[in-house]
């Protein structure tokens, strides 16, 4: 009797596999690229579902029932068809997620480029504004610290103000720092 159940279960599983004839897209793509189809997350979801279905079918046949009604087989077939439809939708979602991840990466790169340009423009504006002004000397400042603050050399600061580096500067004195 158990042998009859085993044979019936095997025959039923073969019919289901033939009826479904489904190969996940990720598996088809990997085969065309020569990649082992049993690696990666694309195989885990369908593989897990198939294993659960097989366990359910085996338990169904070995629960002590002697007959399997056509109604039971049809309900199992309907469940399998529903699962197949869900797998197709999952494959579509995986492709969409991969596309969105690529687009996100492109957007991040664009934002970084725009931010760098903006920072460079701000630096140019601030340095050009400084080139047209004067600096009022405060106590403790030297020609070197003033020149460094405005991004010019001490020699240039001296030339602009017609002074020498040996001549002391006084607090309150105005120095030209750009032309």
How confident is the model at residue 138, as a pLDDT?
93
- In Å, how far are 17, 91, 175 from 41, measured between CA atoms? 22, 11, 69
Contact indicator for 9, 58 with CB cutoff of 8 Å: yes
How do the domains of the chain map onto residue ranges? 2-126, 131-176
Q: Which CATH class is domain 131-176?
A: alpha beta
How confident is the model at residue 37, as a pLDDT?
46
pLDDT along the chain (179 residues), means of 10: 64 62 52 50 71 77 63 81 82 85 93 87 60 84 90 90 88 88
Contact indicator for 157, 147 with CB cutoff of 8 Å: yes
How confident is the model at residue 125, as a pLDDT?
60
> pTM for the complete prediction?
0.31
How confident is the model at residue 132, as a pLDDT?
62
Distance, CA of 68 to CA of 5 (rounded, Å): 10
Cβ neighbours, 10 Å, residue 101: 10
Give the chain's radius of gyration (CA, Å): 39
């Amino acid at each position: 009797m158990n042998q009859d159940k085993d044979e019936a279960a095997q025959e039923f599983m073969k019919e289901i596999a033939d009826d479904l004839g489904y190969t996940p897209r990720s598996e088809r793509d990997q085969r065309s690229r020569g990649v082992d189809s049993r690696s990666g997350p694309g195989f885990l979801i369908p593989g897990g579902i198939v294993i659960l279905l097989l366990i359910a079918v085996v338990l169904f046949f070995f629960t002590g029932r002697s007959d399997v009604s056509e109604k039971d087989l049809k309900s199992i077939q309907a469940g399998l068809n529903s699962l197949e439809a869900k797998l197709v939708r999952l494959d579509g979602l995986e492709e969409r997620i991969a596309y969105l991840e690529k687009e996100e990466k492109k957007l991040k790169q664009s934002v970084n480029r725009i931010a760098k340009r903006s920072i460079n423009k701000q630096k140019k504006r601030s340095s050009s504004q400084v080139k047209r002004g004067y600096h009022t000397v405060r106590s403790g400042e030297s020609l070197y610290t003033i020149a460094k603050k405005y991004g010019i050399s001490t020699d240039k600061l001296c030339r602009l103000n017609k002074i020498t580096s040996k001549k002391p500067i006084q607090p309150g004195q105005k120095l030209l720092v750009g032309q």
